[in-house]
Amino acid sequence: MIKLTINDSPIAVPKGTTILEAARSLGIHIPTLCHMNLHMDQFGVVNQASSCRVCMVEVKGRPALVTACSEKVTDGMHVSTHTPRAITARRMSVELLLSNHPKDCLMCPKNLECDLQKLAADLGVRDIKWAGERIDFEKDESSGAIVKDPNKCVMCRRCETMCNEVQTCGILSAVNRGFDTFVGPAFNLDMKDTSCTYCGQCVAVCPTAALTENNDIHKVWREINNPNKHVIVQVAPAIRVAVGELFDMPPGSISTGKLATSLKRLGFDAVYDTDFAADLTILEEASELVHRIQHGGTLPILTSCCPAWVQFFEHQYPDMLDIPSTCKSPQIMFGAIAKTYYAEKKGIDPKDIVVVSVMPCIAKKAEAKRTELSHHELQNVDYVLTTREYGLMLKEACIDFANLPEGDFDHMLGESTGASVIFGTTGGVIEAAARTAYEWLTGETLEQVELTQLRGLDGIRSGKVQIGDLELNIGIAHGLGNARKLLDCIKAGECNFQAIEIMACPGGCIGGGGQPYHHGDMEIIRQRQIAIYQEDRNKTKRKSHENQEVLDLYDKYLGKPYGEKAHELLHTHYVP
């Protein structure tokens, strides 16, 4: 152990610890901007750019200040974190950043959520010194999902670390040199012309508004207020355990009932649950799995509900497009059913139905616009709002979310089981599918519905589920870097799985790029996961094939799972 003092407090820490980490273990806060340390099992990812110079501290005997995020502790070191010299240097670093930064904080998408803004406030910056030349680049809104505004880039490289090290997508790196440098795609291509998956993990860690989501709020307000439109909304499984954070509720608060009430108060004509469509997805996906097992089809089957994952395998593994399930995602299945079965039952022209989704995910915006996910030239889903955008709508409407009474979703497309709730976390989709496949293949009741061997937050996991004589070997990965490892293993013929679940975001949808900012605190993701499993236990029905409204849909409209009509409406194909 290394012994040192920080602000006269003695401490012993392991060799290799940085001053920043040692100070944090003493409860001493040193401000940072570029630093990022995501501790989460295999996601122990550190952004070590040390570019912002905000964490400067003094070390006795050293003539120059040092950066606490990169400087390793040594025996007998005396560190002072808040000397006038250190604070002046920090303030100067922030003032230099501000000298080349837009000053439109009041209109900025990150207003009150921006790390640079907070630093300027905490350090008492009152004056922008060195007002000189400013960079001036165009915003890129080409993708309809992610907005890139290089003028707000502070070169912290957090997005780059996320995109390249965690997601292994390689989209972002430094463009240009010297004063003109910012982080973006090679040759400053439009985002739509890159292999970006729109996972939004770069957005999730950007400290400013250099990367944000496309804002669709005003379009949704316009539709809600159009008397000629029937506007229905669906909310994804992971929203209910995270949206409360936007209203100062603790991470892991379950707000399903408040969510239903809030949607009604905003004025949607009908309020539904993507969980209904997740149950529907399981009936299709479990049927596809059983079909592949019984008819010698391609195995392993890969889940296909995560749109960033779909973008990833289409771009990076075009030779393996026969492996993923052909099921559309629950969000898209919901839209397809809303504009056919629901329209018919309600006697409304599908052209007059607007489907809005509230999703934890930025890639869902791009998914909704995919041309093959439309029916009779109507998009299955019209608008996608992230959890954060939804929170902003509630604030605009002065809805005090935390104190709302509990409500319920509407009927026909609103019932859900515990199996669909767990879609929101890594491992949940495949656990839900296994619950149903077990009962279908054995004809017996699955008593132990919680398949804990599939749970956890390790980046790559595997577990076996015994189904009669069949031992189903299941692989799970979350984070696209882990997905790549698993796909490479299959490609090399070294992994023997029958079914694989992949989610692009660390933690699954609970860690989606559109969720409330967690500022790198992975404990928040863990709390959301605990809440998801609790919500599953809160349900009386916990298997998708017990969902009566889904069974009614098959009875009255679709025929049998994996049948002709189901194929027409609920399945898709992939584009290399």
Q: Is 367 a catalytic residue?
A: yes
> Catalytic pick from 159, 169, 505, 509?
509
**Residue 364 falls in the annotated catalytic set:** yes
Which residue matches tokens 């994804």? 236
Read off the tokens for 463: 């577990």
**Active-site pick, 344, 372, 406, 523:** 372
Secondary structure E strands in 90-151 = 146-148
Give the 3-state secondary structure of 238-263: HHHHCHHHHHCCCCCCCCHHHHHHHH
Contacting ligand SF4 (CB under 6 A), which of 89, 120, 154, 162?
162
Q: Is 195 among the catalytic positions?
A: no
Nearest alpha-carbon partner for 258 in 400, 384, 389, 395: 400
Regarding 423 and contact with ligand HC0 (CB under 6 A), the answer is yes
Report how many residues bind ligand HC0 under the rule CB under 6 A: 21
The one among 31, 184, 200, 207 contacting ligand SF4 by CB under 6 A: 200
User: For residues 119 and 522, which CB has a smaller minimum distance to ligand HC0 in the complex?
Assistant: 522
Q: Does 163 bind ligand SF4 (CB under 6 A)?
A: yes
In the list ligand SF4, ligand HC0, none, the entry touching 424 (Cβ below 5 to 8 angstroms by class) is ligand HC0
566: CB partners within 8 A, 6+ apart: 284, 554, 558, 559, 560
Options 194-202, 349-357, 469-477, 567-575: segment touching ligand SF4 (CB under 6 A): 194-202
- Cα atoms found within 13 Å of the Cα of residue 522, Cβ hemisphere only: 16
Q: How far apart are CA 224 and CA 170, in angstroms?
A: 39
Which of 463/506 has CB closer to ligand SF4? 506
**What amino acid is encoded at 448 in this protein?**
Q
Residue 311 lies near ligand HC0 (rule: CB under 6 A): no
Neighbours of 456 (CB within 10 A): 15
Closest separation between CB of residue 422 and ligand HC0, Å?
9
**Among 284, 285, 501, 535, the one annotated catalytic:** 285
Q: Which of 364, 365, 431, 546 is catalytic?
A: 364
CB of 532 to ligand HC0, least distance (A): 9
Alpha-carbon separation of residue 442 from 280, 290, 554 (angstroms): 21, 11, 22
CB of 513 to ligand SF4, least distance (A): 7
Q: Which residue in the set 11, 57, 79, 172 belongs to the binding site for ligand SF4 (CB under 6 A)? A: 172
Q: Which run of H or E residues covers position 472?
A: strand 470-478
- Residues in region 115-154 near ligand SF4 by CB under 6 A: 146
Candidates 185, 207, 251, 330; binder of ligand HC0 (CB under 6 A) is: 330
219-227: long-range pairs with CB below 8 Å, 24+ = 219/383, 220/356, 220/383, 220/385, 220/393, 221/393, 223/354, 223/356, 223/382, 223/383, 224/266, 224/267, 224/268, 225/267
Is residue 305 involved in binding ligand HC0 (CB under 6 A)? yes
Write down the least CB distance from residue 37 to ligand SF4, Å: 18
Q: What does the alpha-carbon distance between residue 184 and residue 210 come to, in Å, rounded to a whole number? A: 10
Among 196, 246, 384, 399, binds ligand SF4 (CB under 6 A): 196
Total residues binding ligand SF4 (CB under 6 A): 14
- Residue 288 known to be catalytic: yes
Whole-angstrom distance, CA of residue 124 vs CA of residue 146: 32
Question: How near is the Cβ of 515 to ligand SF4 at its closest, in Å?
Answer: 14
When asked if residue 341 is in the footprint of ligand SF4 (CB under 6 A), the reply is: no
- What whole-number distance in Å separates Cα of residue 233 and Cα of residue 238? 15
Q: Which of residues 22-51 bind ligand SF4 (CB under 6 A)?
A: none
Distance between start and end Cα atoms, the chain:
53
Amino acid at 80: S
Q: Which residues are catalytic?
A: 285, 288, 305, 325, 364, 367, 372, 509
List interacting residues with ligand SF4 (CB under 6 A).
146, 162-163, 167, 169, 171-172, 196-202
List interacting residues with ligand HC0 (CB under 6 A).
236-238, 274, 278, 281, 305-306, 329-331, 359-361, 364, 423-424, 429, 508-509, 512
